[in-house]
Amino acid sequence: MKKAGKAILYIILLLTAAVTIFLTVRRSVEGRDMLLRSAENGIAITEEAVPMIQVYVTGEVREPGIKEIEKGSTILEAVNACGGFTDNASSNINLVYQLDGNVTLIIKAKEDGGGASIMEDAGDAILIDDENGIIDGKININNADIASLGLLPGIGEKTAEDIISYRESAGGFQCIEDLMKVPGIKESKFSKIKDLICVD
């Protein structure tokens, strides 16, 4: 009697294992067939891709340049992608500000009043504002006002005033290198802004 009971229990266990294996294989086959049908119909079953944006980070960062980051990344994440802040970078920055489009991010120096400037994308250019001297993503040093010049890394209000005074006395800048003739603008400072300015 005991042997019969053990045999029945053994059979039940075997049946349970067989059913479990059958259901597992069936789900696997059904999943494979669904993927094949989706592929045939041109339907891809994948996770939604995270949109990417391009940010030109310049100013007081260790490795300035264009970085591709996820849309919605913070200023801190963009700066970290460029090697982090320099020792002269301002600490008066909203590091959790989210970047939702292609922009130029300028990290200012402590002596320039600190903070960060963001120039937003407007089509092919970063920003177009003829009235304030910002054209095709670059600041025109021949007609930019103090506020627009102040967007440049290393250029504070006093230096912006000196730029305007020089161009008025010299009749304008013939080339961007002429900016180094302005008192207080040497090669090191010029190298940080040369890709952000024009004279046209």
Predicted confidence (pLDDT) per residue in 173-197, tens digit: 999 999 999 998 999 889 888 888 8
Across the strands, what pairs with 179?
A: none
Q: Pick from 75, 67, 70, 121: which is nearest to 95 by CA?
A: 75
What's this model's pTM, rounded to 2 decimal places? 0.49
CA distances in angstroms from 185 to 29, 153, 154, 155, 180, listed in the order given:
70, 12, 9, 9, 5
52-72 confidence digits (pLDDT tens): 988 888 888 999 888 889 999
| Paired tokens of 91 | 């600490």
Letter for the amino acid at 188?
A: S
Element spanning 53, H or E: strand 52-59
- Portion of the chain with pLDDT greater than 70, in percent: 66
pLDDT in tens, 97-140: 889 888 888 888 887 776 788 876 433 334 434 444 444 457 88
Q: Which of 2, 27, 103 is nearest to 58 (CA)?
A: 103
Q: What's the rounded Cα separation, in Å, for the pair 120 and 65?
A: 16
User: What does the angle CA 164 – CA 165 – CA 170 come to, to the nearest 5 degrees?
Assistant: 100
Say which residue the tokens 């005074």 belong to. Answer: 165
The answer to whether residues 120 and 101 touch, using CB atoms and an 8 Å cutoff, is yes
What is the rounded end-to-end Cα distance, in angstroms, of the chain?
Answer: 104
CA atoms within 13 A on the CB side of 31: 7
